[in-house]
Amino acid sequence: MKRLVNQIFLIPILFLLAAILMYGIFYFYFIEDVSKKEFKKIEDLIVNNEKKVVKANLDGIFAGAREIRVVAYDATKEVLKSVLDQVIRNYVYFDKGEEAFFKNHFNDKLFFYIISRKIVYPKIYQTFMKVDNKNFLISVLNGKKYLSVEKKIGDKIIGVAYKLDLIDSLVKNEIINYIKFLNLDKDYIAIGEITNWYATKGVFGKIVYHPIKYYEGKILSLDSPDVKGNFYKKKYFNCLKEHDSCYVEYYFLNPQTNKIEKKLSYFMIYRPYNFVFVKGIYYSTLIKQVNKVKEETIKDFYKFFIITFLLLLFFVILSFVVSYFLSKKLASKVLEEYNILKNELFERIYFDEVTKLPNKFKLLEDLKNYKSLVILDIEDFANINNLYGFDFGDKILIEVSKFLRKRFKRVYKVGSDEFAIPFNTKLNEKMLKKISSLEFEFEKVELSFIVGGSEVPDLYITAESSLKLAQKRGLKYLLYDEKYKTIQKEKFEKILMLRKVLKENSIIPYYQAIVDKFGNVKKYEALMRVKYKNDVYSPFIFMDLIKEAKLYDDFSKLMIKKVFEDLVSNKIKNVSVNLSFLDISNKEIRKFILEYLKKYKIGERITFEILESESLQNMEIVKHFVKELKSYGGKIAIDDFGSGYSNLVNILSLKPDYIKIDGSLIKHVQNLEYFEIVRLINDFAKEFNIHTVAEFVENKEIFEILKKIGIEYFQGYYFHKPEPFDKIS
């Protein structure tokens, strides 16, 4: 009996142990499993939302950098206009001759020039450079570029030019100052500069600005990993070669905690200056609030666990009740903090900071509820910002948003000066005309709108397309038409066709004979043809699309490869191959050509034709490559000579073997003026021991005239049409 009584005493002990075991299982399962999963979901959501915020933030900074560059170029242009006016006034009273006048007004930073029938001083060539859809006149003198402004005075053009490097240096400094200003608002942004896109190891750039000052000037190396051994610099460097932005994870010293922490950074490249904007997110910062609540709650649970362990025998039921309320407290705290974070993120992601209107991201989510969309653009808003400043511009945007909200149920701010208005009804031109006729005045500044509308899916893309097309055509409004979509579809189908041509190697070299004055064939020029299904096309009808789709290098390499194969197989004895500057600037194509010449010893049978009409942007690359070609016996021809603004010094520096006179001159050689031009080109070539080839010789009469001039070789339909090699007689 005593033994049974003693055993009865074991019951509460066993119950206590069972209760402790059950409670322990409940406690650790809840805290270690369920809680962790829920916290992980919240953390992932916060990280993804913050990534959107960072991207939107850097997108705005990128737009600001572009605006700084355009403003700097415009401002310099205006100053040059004033300087030019003063120079012209001085020039009128200058009596020592034109060259003497311009020599007197010349230095490395700024110089003046004159262009007339009798003189071009100093010797320059000119081109245009596009900066954010604006064209600027560029003069090149001694290999250096200058921003130019010109004015016509009688039969002369007088111009002033300012060194472009100085403007770009100013722009780069302004961009850095712009980032510094943003960092005053605790926007932790840094700038790197890529100095070597061809690097495969070692240094590829440097840090030009960093909120932590001792990082400035630090080199960026592909061989430098983070503390975990991750070569994150190589990862974003390779990404930025093909893309404009990317996210990369790595470990870095957090200046706020002075600890090495996991970091997610967004890298965005501004290609005109090879600037890389960087904004990072430390994971510890993102989940700080969540961890704070989690730590407090776990502390409460530990306290509670100790108390209930001591009093569990008497308060088992109470402990479960308290556990329930603590669980509720945990969920309530997490939900409360999460809702605060979610609302803050929602405001930052979905609403415009200036006007407080819902933004483009919100519009894209809401568009499924609407049948049509109108986008308004404030005319000449950039000029308003330039004249009155960005603060005044922001005031206008706020007032315009109020103006539109009074007239329309829903209004979104979708761009720097664009507003979107969705409708649940169909659109017509009458509605668009009425909207475009809205006029608004603020502090004596009158504003008007350009309007694009669409009821064709995708609403935002099609409405934006109609707005851009209206701006391009100089219209006040434009309703999207299905035919625009058809044009885009046809363009897409052509790109698919071109990709299929590459995949199936359906590029065919056609050959056209080049003959001497007796009609004897001396060589053939290889001309690319594209075969699709049963039709053969010239690639020039697709060339803009080929370049836009980034297929040019593949087309060019395949064409060169097929011509080389014909040479190696002796199907063609001597051939000319066209090379553009895009081909020469492509390191892979240069390497492919030189390796083929070295391996098969066919250099003496090839003439490489370089287009004179193209802008040779880096003569050093061209000169070096030409020198290598000639070392293998290759010959050089300048194609389409006379079609562009030739820099004869550059052309002669290539030491060409042939000059191919452009067909636009040959076709009209019966005309006295064209006859004299062709004769002068031929005399010029003979002076430098360069052979001449006339293109587009279409009949006997032209042939006879060219022989009298002294042209050595001829090419055209009069002798031979381009044909595949198996049809060449």
> What residues are paired with 703 via a beta bridge?
none
**pLDDT for position 192:** 92
DSSP secondary structure, 357-418, as one string? -BBHHHHHHHGGG-SEEEEEEETTHHHHHHHH-HHHHHHHHHHHHHHHHHH-S--EE-SSSE
CA–CA distance, 266 with 261 (Å, rounded to integer):
16
Per-residue confidence band for 328, with pLDDT thresholds at 50, 70 and 90: low
Q: Is the pLDDT score of 516 beyond 90?
A: yes
What's the CATH code, domain 490-727? 3.20.20.450
Q: Is the pLDDT score of 727 beyond 90?
A: no
Question: For residue 199, which amino acid is it?
Answer: A
- Chain centroid to Cα 247, Å, comes to 17
**pLDDT for position 541:** 83
Element (DSSP H or E) covering residue 179: helix 164-183
What CATH superfamily is the domain 188-286? PAS domain (3.30.450.20)
The residue among 729 and 562 whose pLDDT is bigger is: 562
Do 301 and 196 contact (CB within 8 A), yes or no? no
Task: Write out pLDDT tens, residues 274-307.
Answer: 999 998 888 777 776 566 656 666 666 666 667 7
What mean pLDDT value characterizes the chain?
83
Task: Write out pLDDT tens, residues 451-467.
Answer: 999 988 888 988 888 88
Per-residue confidence band for 9, with pLDDT thresholds at 50, 70 and 90: very low
**pLDDT for position 489:** 76
**End-to-end Cα spacing for the chain:** 124
Do 340 and 42 contact (CB within 8 A), yes or no? no
Q: Longest C-alpha distance within the chain, in Å?
A: 141
Q: Based on the number of CB atoms within 10 Å of its own CB, is 308 exposed (0-12), middle (13-18) or buried (19 or more)?
A: buried
- Chain centroid to Cα 589, Å, comes to 23
Q: Is the pLDDT score of 57 beyond 50?
A: yes
The residue among 45 and 166 whose pLDDT is bigger is: 166
Do 526 and 578 contact (CB within 8 A), yes or no? yes
CA–CA distance, 398 with 620 (Å, rounded to integer):
53
pLDDT > 70 fraction of the chain, expressed in percent and rounded: 82
Is the peptide bond prior to 458 cis by the omega test (within 30 degrees of 0)?
A: yes
Q: Is the pLDDT score of 507 beyond 80?
A: yes
Pair of tokens at residue 159? 């111009």
Q: Is the pLDDT score of 52 beyond 90?
A: no
Task: Write out pLDDT tens, residues 418-438.
Answer: 999 999 998 888 888 898 888
Is the peptide bond prior to 358 cis by the omega test (within 30 degrees of 0)?
A: no
State the angle between helix axes of 288-350 and 36-92 in degrees (0 to 180), rounded to the nearest 10: 50
**pLDDT for position 183:** 77
Q: Based on the number of CB atoms within 10 Å of its own CB, is 483 exposed (0-12), middle (13-18) or buried (19 or more)?
A: exposed
In sequence order, which residues have a C-beta less than 8 Å from that of residue 92 and are 6 or more positions away? none
Q: Mean pLDDT throughout 432-446?
A: 85
Asked which of 223-237, 317-331, 707-721 is least confident by mean pLDDT, the reply is 317-331
**pLDDT for position 27:** 60
Do 43 and 286 contact (CB within 8 A), yes or no? yes
Per-residue confidence band for 651, with pLDDT thresholds at 50, 70 and 90: confident
Measured in degrees and rounded to the nearest 5, phi and psi for residue 543 equal: -60, -45
Task: Collapse the DSSP code of 246 into the 3-class scheme (helix H, G, I; strand E, B; otherwise coil) and give the result.
Answer: strand
**pLDDT for position 4:** 44
Q: Is the pLDDT score of 387 beyond 90?
A: no
Q: Is the pLDDT score of 214 beyond 90?
A: no
Q: Which span out of 63-72, 441-450, 664-673 was modeled with the highest average pLDDT? A: 664-673
CA–CA distance, 114 with 126 (Å, rounded to integer):
13
Taking Cα atoms as reference points, which of 184, 204, 186, 223 lies closest to residue 269? 204
CA–CA distance, 20 with 349 (Å, rounded to integer):
48
**pLDDT for position 446:** 84
CA–CA distance, 592 with 586 (Å, rounded to integer):
10
CA–CA distance, 66 with 87 (Å, rounded to integer):
31
Domains 188-286 and 490-727 share a fold: no
Asked which of 326-340, 569-583, 622-636 is least confident by mean pLDDT, the reply is 326-340
Q: Is the pLDDT score of 269 beyond 90?
A: yes
**pLDDT for position 324:** 45
In sequence order, which residues have a C-beta less than 8 Å from that of residue 348 and are 6 or more positions away? 53, 56
Pair of tokens at residue 208? 């030009």
- Chain centroid to Cα 678, Å, comes to 42
Per-residue confidence band for 335, with pLDDT thresholds at 50, 70 and 90: low
Q: Is the pLDDT score of 716 beyond 80?
A: yes
**pLDDT for position 384:** 83
The DSSP output letter for 213 is: G
Q: Mean pLDDT throughout 623-652?
A: 82
Per-residue confidence band for 206, with pLDDT thresholds at 50, 70 and 90: very high
Taking Cα atoms as reference points, which of 488, 489, 465, 461 lies closest to residue 478? 465
Per-residue confidence band for 318, with pLDDT thresholds at 50, 70 and 90: low
CA–CA distance, 454 with 464 (Å, rounded to integer):
9
CA–CA distance, 499 with 398 (Å, rounded to integer):
48
CA–CA distance, 245 with 236 (Å, rounded to integer):
9
Angle at 424 between CA 422 and CA 425, to 5 degrees: 110
**What is the residue extent of each domain of the chain?**
188-286, 360-480, 490-727
Measured in degrees and rounded to the nearest 5, phi and psi for residue 302 equal: -65, -45
Please state whether beta strands 259-270 and 521-532 pair in parallel, antiparallel, or not at all (unpaired): unpaired
CB neighbourhood size of 165 (10 A) = 12
What's the CATH code, domain 360-480? 3.30.70.270
Q: Is the pLDDT score of 641 beyond 70?
A: yes
Q: Mean pLDDT throughout 487-495?
A: 79
Q: What is the rounded radius of gyration, in angstroms, for the C-alpha atoms of the chain? A: 36
